[in-house]
Amino acid sequence: MTKIATIELLESTRPLHAILETCKNICKLAGISDQTTWIDLEINGYLVKYKNREDLLQNLPSYRKTGCKYYDLYGKLISLTPSMVDIFGSSTVYHPIKELENNDKVIVEAKYLEPFNKFMSEHGMDQNSKNLRIHEARISKEEIQHVLRGVKKRIQELLDMIISLLEMQ
């Protein structure tokens, strides 16, 4: 079953969410419980466990931290200075893997942008930056593909580890 999942992953014959379900079953059969938390988070999304931006930033795998574009209430693109991007870091892609596989773009909810808006209203350099309000952030197809490649790589590492363990028995 593990080798079949590896082939399906390499040849992209099944969606990643289905391969993750297979990996979860393989882990149960092999008695490897330390990987099932990660698998569940990828399948169900990281908001199941982490409820705020700080927790997400501390616990998301690096491949789920990515760039995005910011928009105001009217849908106008907002350009952030490099220092603003440095302060708030990259976007957090917390969505379930199936949702990422089925979309060309992802919208980051406004509640995750509030810390940025509050900070800017209190510490903005000038009146324009103090009045700046981000309404939504959009993660592009390219950034989603980056996340999917990261998940795929981690699945492959997991499957390789399982195959090695099984070969030693």
Give the predicted TM-score (pTM) of the model.
Answer: 0.82
Tens digits of residue pLDDT in 128-164: 767 778 888 889 999 999 999 999 999 999 999 999 9
Count of domains forming the chain: 1
Tell me the residue range of the domain where 152 lies: 2-168
β-pair type (136-139, 106-108): antiparallel
Name residue 106's amino acid.
Answer: V
Six-digit token string for 18? 């289905």
Which three-class secondary structure string do you get for 65-94?
EECCEEECCCCCEECCCHHHHHHHCCEECC
Those residues whose C-beta lies under 8 Å from the C-beta of residue 63, and which sit 6 or more positions away, are 146, 147, 149, 150, 151, 153, 154
Q: Encode pLDDT of 94-127 as tens digits.
A: 899 999 999 988 888 777 778 778 877 887 777 7
